[in-house]
Structure 1
Amino acid sequence: MRFRKLSTGKIDYNMRIFALYGILYETALNFYKPFSVKFLERIGGSELEIALINALPGLVTLIAILPGALWLRRSEDTQLTTARLILFGRWFLFAMAFIPFLPPQYRAFGFLALFTLMCIPDAIYQTSYQSFIGVLFEPRARANAIGMRNKLTVPALTAVTLLSGNILTLVPKTDEQRLFIYQIFFGLAFFFGVMEYKAFKKFKVAKKDAGFARSSGREPLKPQVIKILSNKQFRFFALCSLGFHFGWHMGWPLFNIYMIKTLGANELWLAVISVASAITMFFGYSFWSRQIEKRGNSFVLPICTFGMALTPLMYAWSPNLYILLPTALISGFFTAGTLSVTLGALLEATPQDNRVMYIAVYNVLINLSLATAPMLGHYFFELKGIVFALYMTGLFRFLGTLLFFYRDRRIAKEKLGVCG
């Protein structure tokens, strides 16, 4: 299905709304996400529960994505449906504010349960959002729009993270006061989530269902998945991405364990490290956006993932939090590139027709990694300690980078063959 092109004025308007939406999204996210593991620890969470907070969302998302995508295809107003998914997910943040009222022995479980269940609407939203962006901006403008949105969100991310980190560290005198501040932050995250919902509804599209191949009947799921996986371009990209994401996800609980348990980071240090990463992300988004426009997604992707493969090694070589700061700077630069290029490469590898189902299948594969990789990282941690686990994470990331490099060489050869 083809859709009318938006006028230049509407594209500029949508870019502004896209940036505003990104700022509100990051503001809501950074009132709780950088400190969620520390909050879990303060209410009695163990190392296993820290690993589970990374793994369980992936498992739940695996179950939710494909049924959610089929439901999205029957939606009469996909933009409004996506906005409502945003709002539904933010209600879980509101509920998290009441966790400290639970008996101490149930707090960690309650927070873990809410955090995991929140991933159901978030997973369906991510599938819908990624497909929506595919038609909101044409391929030529897409990298610029994503880069501009990501760059403009960095000041909001920096301000919120520094403010919240300082408040959590300097203001409370007791654990009860600190938990009360966490409750306020969950409430603020919910408030900005509501603003995020309102901003998303302001996008102007040529048709309400742009980007979604609607289905009035109930098409069997299995034939759709088989057809999607038979698309060689999509299948090759998805497998390469799965390989890298496995190493990426392995490191998530390990970095928190290393910073909090090994180096003794408090909320202020977590904020400082997050801001250090955000500073280079701010400059990185512009740099990588230009490289994507000049050289293409397939060329830039292995370079960015190679930089991210260095991160766990640099963590392992950091004996204290002061040495860890340069690692955060380097990591932020390459993470900005990876975040910018991955979405563009995914949209490039998926046809517009039935794109929402392609993205759903892709997200199932990625969340299969998210559900298992953190637990493998935890296994290596239990086996031989945190440094060994970080080295293994780096190895898996390097293997994923090699897959993307091989993909780029293969695409380059195919282009030469066509030209020849």
Structure 2
Amino acid sequence: MKLEKNEKMSIYSGMASTISVTAVSAYIPLFAIGVLGASNQQVGLITALPSIIGMIALIPGAIWLNRSASKKNFTVISTLAARFLFMLIMFVPFLAPGYAAWALLALIGLLNFPGTLSLLSWQSMIGDLVPEERRGHFFSLRNRLNAVMALLITFATGFFLTYYNQKSAFPYQVLFIVGFLFALIEVYYLMKHKEPPKTMDVKAAKTAERGFSLAIFRYKPYVAFIICGLLFNFGAQMAWSLFSIFHIREANATALWLSLFTVTNQLAQIISMKWWAGAAEKWGNTMVLFVAAAGMATAPILTVMSTNLLYLTGINLWIGLFVSGTNLLLFNQLLKASPEKDRTTYIANYNFLLAIVGFIAPQLGVFLLNQVGMNAAMGIISIVRFMAGLSFLVVALRIDRGLSIKPAVRSS
């Protein structure tokens, strides 16, 4: 009964969180370019800067979380702080034009400190509350419902923005307020989770206090996941800023078209999410990750083949089929590759490395854009993504298979 209630509360909080964040986050690049006049470099920093702040937050965050008497309370406080800072962006347009874009960057970077703590504590908490045998079904359902909610809110906000001039700050300010109200609902449902009394693991706490520890790299499944996961995220995040720049500057997409891109992407995620969960149970999480990552590799090169907005809508439908797979399977793989005893430490170290990638990759993407142009840059990124897909295939064929064989050999 407690498990079912926790899953239900997690679904409700996830849907409220999706509304809170999606109401504006999909349009932050348009807000930055259209309202604040941000440059290409500043658009790239919108993606990259939060990673540095997140990297700074991870190590003390892991220590605080291990010392905390309640992961739930830690998650609640950090989530509320992150959402409050996000709402403060509504005041940025009142600043002088020369400072507004930089103030946006500062707030986005700053809110990522509690945002990182929120993600870390939620991942650790939900890993404790949902047993491994239920994760595939639970996360598939939760992600599918979140995708439906994201689809609806994205279309609604995109339609709402079309009633106003693209340079007007007022509609964005309304959305920031709405987003914060739903953040309060998200926090309410987080508080409704029931967690077991915490038993202090002295060894785990000491491991976390050492910060970034090389000891975790002795566990082969975790090392394999780290290599593949970081390579995939590097390729994925190189293109994030470039997609926004291409859609807004070269394809001249309005808020309504951007919402259609997102809606079709999310629709594809809803359709395909259950299939990915079933495929992972049948063929193995890592093998199916190869398929999802290989599909993601096609996104950059297909995007730049045309600036036709109907074509780009179709491409986003195609991309969404694989986004749902990577979102679901990467997180499942992280939990699977992290030993239960020291899970917080393993997750924190992975997110620490991910933060480094998150800062470097978008900057490298913008550098490639400035050096070789949009088409060549996107082609290079597609190659990097495909290499990441191949790395998952190698793990599936060699490491995972080897680990599954060893117990049978010892028992014979």
CA gap 1:223/1:40 in 2 versus in 1, 3 angstroms? closer
Residue 286 of structure 1 aligns with which residue?
274
- Residue 15, structure 1, aligned to residue 4, structure 2: no
Deviation at 1:233, TM superposition (A): 1.8
CA distance in 2, matches of 1:203, 1:297: 28
| 2:388 aligned partner | 400
**Residue 136 of structure 2 is aligned to residue 147 of structure 1:** no
| Aligned match of 1:113 | 106
Tell me the equivalent position of 2:315: 327
Paired residue type of 2:404: K
**2:78–2:118 Cα contact (<8 Å) kept:** yes
Partner of 1:370: 358
AA partner of residue 85 (structure 2)? F
What's the counterpart of residue 120 of structure 2?
127
Matched, 1:67 2:60: yes
Deviation at 1:218, TM superposition (A): 6.2
Q: Report the RMSD for the aligned CA atoms in angstroms.
A: 1.8
Selected match of 1:199 from 186, 189, 195: 189
Moved more, 265-274 or 293-302: 293-302
Write the distance in 2 (CA, Å) between the matches of 1:252 and 1:223.
Answer: 29
Would you say the 8 A contact 2:207–2:213 is kept in 1? no
Deviation digits for residues 170-209 of structure 1 (CA, Å, limit 9, x no counterpart): x12473xx311100101111111111111111112233x3
Give the TM-score normalised by structure 1: 0.93
Counterparts in 2 of 1:219 and 1:404: CA distance versus 1, 3 Å: closer
Inter-partner Cα distance in structure 2 for 1:297 and 1:249: 22
Aligned partner letter, 2:241: P
**2:129 aligns to what?**
136
Aligned residues: 407
Equivalent position to 2:170, from 155, 166, 180 = 180
What SS does the corresponding residue of 1:45 show, helix, strand or coil? coil
Query: The residue matched to 1:19 in structure 2 has which SS?
Result: helix
2:316 and 2:79 map into 1 onto residues whose CA distance is 30
Instruction: Give the structure 2 partner of residue 419 of structure 1.
Output: 408
Between the aligned residues of both structures, percent identity stands at 29
1:91 aligns with 2:84: yes
Q: Any unmatched runs of 5+ in structure 1?
A: 1-8
Distance 2:170 2:100 in 1: 14
**C-alpha distance after superposition, 1:202-231 (max 9, x if no partner):** 112233x38x84679766844861221222
1:296-329 Cα offsets, whole Å, 9 max, x none, are 2112111111111111111122331111112111
Which runs of 5 or more residues in structure 2 are unaligned? none
Q: Which residue of 2 aligns with 1:315?
A: 303
Deviations 1:95-131 (A, max 9, x none): 1111111122211011111011111011111111111
Match of 1:33 in 2: 25
Q: For 1:348, which of 336, 359, 364 is the aligned residue? A: 336
- For 1:313 and 1:273, the matched residues in 2 are separated by 16
Name the CA shift for 1:157/1:13 in 2 (closer, same or farther; >3 Å): same
Q: Partner letter of residue 195 of structure 1?
A: I
Structure 1 moving runs of 4+ over 3 Å: 212-224, 416-420
Structure-2 change in CA distance of 1:186 and 1:419 (3 Å): same
Aligned partner of 1:56 in structure 2 is 49
Whole-Å separation in 2 of the counterparts to 1:247 and 1:288: 21
Aligned residue identity for 1:125: S
Once residues 385 and 126 of structure 2 are traced to their aligned partners in structure 1, the CA distance between those partners, rounded to angstroms, is 28
The code of the aligned residue for 2:175 comes to F
Tell me, in whole angstroms, the C-alpha distance in 2 between the residues paired with 1:396 and 1:323.
24
Counterparts of 2:211 and 2:192, CA distance in 1 = 36
2:93 to 79, 97, 100: 100
